Amino acid sequence: MNNEKKRLSRTWIAIACACLGIAAVVVLVAATSSDEPPSGVDVDSMTAVVQKWYQARMVPWPATEYGETEFGKSAADTVQQGYLDVVKEVGTEEFQKSMIGTYDIAKFQESQREECPEQVLLKFECRIVGSEFLTYADNGDAVVRVKVWDGCTIGTLNADGTKVASTRQWDEMPVWDVQMRDTQDGWKIVSLTQRETSDDLDIDQFGANTPHANQVVPAVDSEPF
């Protein structure tokens, strides 16, 4: 009887050790996987999501309202809803509720018109010109750094403010750190922090390959526009 008990005891100890070994391997694999950077395909997917949000930040001023420095209610609602729809598509629930996710882009563009009533935004374009994986957050979210080129075509209105008399272009290349989450619906933005602002050093040149000067901004959540 004692021998039988000893044999059973040794059997259960062996099983327990085996289970612990399997658990250790699972933990090790999980830890190893979390330390590996996202694939190039994943990073490309992330940057595409960021670009979609970035493009939605600005919209051309309606040609029918050149003489106004404020959107009509219908136009303002359309502009804002368009932005919120993109935010919902590309962002997590946290992002949708954040300062950036709820930003009133219609009021922002109205403030620009009030500052320079003779100028209107004719075209806004952007693209990601550089990206790199930085780290994983404690909860497993990926953090990537992206360099964005964006450019504006701006029209100066004629004397009565009804038509564009001349145009000019201006561009910049800011740098953002973006926290991204891998969800069932693909990569989503959790938060964004601007790390560098950018100055256009030559207004006669337009494009990502033209001179720009970048300055580091404080490591705090920044204004989105």
What pLDDT score does 13 carry? 40
Does the residue 19 lie in any domain?
Answer: no
- Give the list of residues 6+ apart from residue 100 with CB closer than 8 angstroms, or none: 191, 192, 224
3-state secondary structure of 175: strand
Does the residue 20 lie in any domain?
Answer: no
What pLDDT score does 205 carry? 85
Measured CA to CA, the distance from residue 225 to residue 174 in angstroms comes to 11
Q: Which H or E element spans position 105?
A: helix 105-115
Measured CA to CA, the distance from residue 120 to residue 155 in angstroms comes to 5
Does the residue 225 lie in any domain?
Answer: no
b/e 17-27 (16+ beta carbons within 10 angstroms → b): eeeeeeeeeee
Measured CA to CA, the distance from residue 74 to residue 59 in angstroms comes to 15
Residue 12 has pLDDT above 60, yes or no: no
Query: Residue 154's domain spans which residues?
Result: 38-216
Q: How many domains does the chain have?
A: 1
Does the residue 133 lie in any domain?
Answer: yes
Does the residue 1 lie in any domain?
Answer: no
Q: What percent of the chain has pLDDT over 90?
A: 67
Does the residue 224 lie in any domain?
Answer: no
**Residue 162: CATH number of its domain:** 3.10.450
Measured CA to CA, the distance from residue 168 to residue 122 in angstroms comes to 10
Q: How far are the Cα atoms of 51, 81, 89, 105, 116 from residue 111, in angstroms, in the given order? A: 24, 18, 27, 10, 9
Higher pLDDT, 18 or 100: 100
Query: With contact defined as beta carbons under 8 Å apart, do 56 and 86 qualify?
Result: yes
Does the residue 3 lie in any domain?
Answer: no
Does the residue 11 lie in any domain?
Answer: no
Span 126-162, pLDDT tens digits: 999 999 999 999 999 999 999 999 999 999 999 998 8
Confidence of residue 217 (pLDDT cuts 50, 70, 90): confident
